[in-house]
Amino acid sequence: MAAGFAAEMRKSFPSVRLLEPQLEGFEPSGAKAKAIAILQGSPDIIGAFSTTGNGAETWAGAARTTQRNVKIISMDYTRQNLDLVKSGAVYAIVAQPLYEEGAAVADLGARLAKKEPVEFRNVLAAKIVTAADLEPYYEILTAAGQ
């Protein structure tokens, strides 16, 4: 995802300087420490895209710690991530189509079981959710008991 995002950014915004994709990691304190180091090592950073579910908190925490204004886009519409978007600490999250992903896995599994050919890459559209678009995702979480 990060490489695809970077490729599209380079194509659409050739004058924007991008760092190579870096994995901040999944352990929260280590991930935040790495994000802080990235921000401190590159004072011209104005945006971050994280492909991990905890990336919103990782980068929001790093931005707070370094007192930097960073436009953050991360993954997953957990309540914590929606709250970070609502507060303005995170610009947006990518709402992965969880139901559609599950249905696609079932369909692909059935096709493979029948020895039918399947495409290696099966891309599903995922909405970028900003503060103006949060309510349906809070409703999904509430309906799921979260």
List pLDDT tens digits, range 49-93: 998 889 999 999 999 999 999 999 999 999 999 999 999 999 999
Look at 99 and 29; give whichever has higher pLDDT.
29
List pLDDT tens digits, range 34-45: 999 999 999 999
Q: Which of 71, 136, 46, 132 shows the shortest CA–CA distance to 99?
A: 136
DSSP state of 132: G
Which CATH number characterizes residue 43's domain? 3.40.50.2300
- Domain containing residue 48: 2-143
Domain count, the chain: 1
- Which residues make beta-bridge pairs with 49? 73
Mean pLDDT of 130-139: 96
